[in-house]
């Protein structure tokens, strides 16, 4: 891909948190970002009836997870959207909250091409080690020509560029030996305030980033209410000896900001939005 590249971005729902379509002029590749809750809105997208490769992203037990899959319209006539709906109905991979899809405007991907891409993406994610890849089997790369491999590499680079630009750096090995950047002080403090209507009060917590994760600080208030959707491991954290009289009495670290937020709130949460700087800037904007 050229050093200077123009990416076309279309907010299908008028908001960055909804569905997004990405394209590059003169290229057949199309990428969609689709929140799981918005799958029903995709019925009119004829591109999602095509063949393609997709990623399922989410968090579970404080860990970021990804599943790499493929869908062929030639097998069932319904393509990628049908496969995503199957995943949404199944409890087998219930961790995912967002899907990223790679397809083409002219449905030019065949079975060999999507198998090759699935194999490449799956192994790249495993090698980077940023998140847990939940694929049970290693996809087969199949056999393709040298010319076709060059074309598919271009599509793979397109996907990497888009994923990185929207915050999914799953193919980039983490810088384990580098501490997080500092701004003014030797540590960054983030704040969470959530009003719980049932209890008629707000709960406040503090968190700081570390070189290995996100640490909720002692003294943070922990909401006693909790959702049935919380994992068993998260419930165990919330009922441990580190929580007493509704307060955290000892720092506790999590792998993601969302897990840290869920620990405090007792319900599913988007940590990148919930945690904010002293000036009210969301963590995702700060980063």
- In tens, the pLDDT along 206-260 reads 999 888 889 999 999 999 999 888 888 888 889 999 999 999 999 999 988 999 9
Looking at 24-38, 177-191, 272-286, which range is the least confident one?
177-191
Per-residue pLDDT tens for 170-186?
888 765 544 444 444 44
Look at residue 117 and tell me if it is in a domain.
yes
Look at residue 178 and tell me if it is in a domain.
no
Look at residue 97 and tell me if it is in a domain.
yes
Rounded to an integer, the average pLDDT of 250-276 is: 91
> Higher pLDDT residue, 87 or 2?
87
Look at residue 119 and tell me if it is in a domain.
yes
State yes or no: pLDDT of 2 exceeds 50: no
Question: What pLDDT shows up at residue 129?
Answer: 84
Per-residue pLDDT tens for 141-170?
777 777 777 888 888 888 888 888 887 888
Residues 155 and 272 in one domain: no
Look at residue 37 and tell me if it is in a domain.
yes
Token pair 């940023």 is at which residue? 130
- b/e 103-118 (16+ beta carbons within 10 angstroms → b): bbeebebeebbbbbbb
**Which tokens is 286 given?**
């700060």
Look at residue 176 and tell me if it is in a domain.
no
Cβ(114)–Cβ(70) below 8 Å? yes
Residues 204 and 134 in one domain: no
Residues 21 and 137 in one domain: yes
The model's pTM is: 0.61
State yes or no: pLDDT of 202 exceeds 80: yes
Token pair 């560029």 is at which residue? 161
Looking at 30-44, 53-67, 70-84, which range is the least confident one?
70-84
Query: Residue 15 — very low, low, confident or very high, per pLDDT cuts 50/70/90?
Result: confident
| Percent of the chain residues topping a pLDDT of 90 | 36
Query: Structurally, how many domains does the chain consist of?
Result: 2
Residues 109 and 212 in one domain: no
Q: Which of 277, 272, 280 is nearest to 187 (CA)?
A: 277
Look at residue 1 and tell me if it is in a domain.
no
What does the alpha-carbon distance between residue 116 and residue 228 come to, in Å, rounded to a whole number? 40
Residues 244 and 144 in one domain: no
Residues 87 and 23 in one domain: yes
Domain assignment of residue 131, given as a range:
7-165
Look at residue 2 and tell me if it is in a domain.
no
Rounded to an integer, the average pLDDT of 104-116 is: 86
Question: What pLDDT shows up at residue 163?
Answer: 86
Listed in sequence order, the residues at least 6 apart from 138 whose beta carbon sits closer than 8 Å to its beta carbon are: 119, 122, 123
């Amino acid at each position: 891909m050229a050093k200077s590249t123009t990416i076309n971005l279309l907010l299908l729902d008028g908001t960055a948190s909804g569905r997004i379509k990405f394209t590059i002029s003169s290229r057949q590749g199309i990428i969609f970002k689709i929140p799981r809750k918005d799958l029903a809105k995709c019925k009119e997208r004829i591109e999602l009836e095509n063949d393609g490769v997709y990623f399922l992203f989410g968090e579970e037990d404080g860990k970021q997870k990804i599943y790499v899959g493929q869908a062929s319209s030639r097998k069932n006539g319904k393509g990628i959207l049908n496969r995503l709906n199957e995943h949404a109905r199944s409890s087998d991979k219930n961790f995912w909250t967002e899907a990223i899809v790679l397809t083409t405007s002219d449905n030019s991907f065949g079975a060999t091409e999507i198998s090759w891409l699935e194999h490449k993406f799956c192994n790249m994610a495993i090698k980077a080690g940023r998140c847990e890849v939940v694929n049970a089997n290693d996809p087969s790369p199949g056999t393709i020509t040298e010319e076709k491999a060059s074309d598919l590499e271009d599509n793979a680079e397109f996907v990497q560029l888009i994923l990185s630009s929207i915050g999914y750096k799953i193919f980039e090995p983490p810088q384990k030996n580098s501490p997080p950047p500092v701004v003014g002080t030797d540590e960054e403090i983030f704040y969470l305030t959530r009003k719980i209507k049932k209890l008629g009060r707000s709960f406040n917590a503090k968190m700081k980033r570390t070189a290995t994760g996100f640490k909720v600080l002692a003294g943070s208030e922990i909401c006693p209410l909790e959702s049935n959707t919380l994992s068993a491991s998260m419930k165990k954290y919330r009922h441990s000896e580190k929580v007493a009289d509704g307060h955290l009495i000892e720092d506790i670290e999590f792998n993601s900001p969302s897990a840290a937020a869920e620990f405090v709130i007792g319900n599913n949460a988007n940590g990148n939005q919930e945690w904010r700087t002293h000036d009210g800037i969301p963590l995702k904007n700060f980063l």
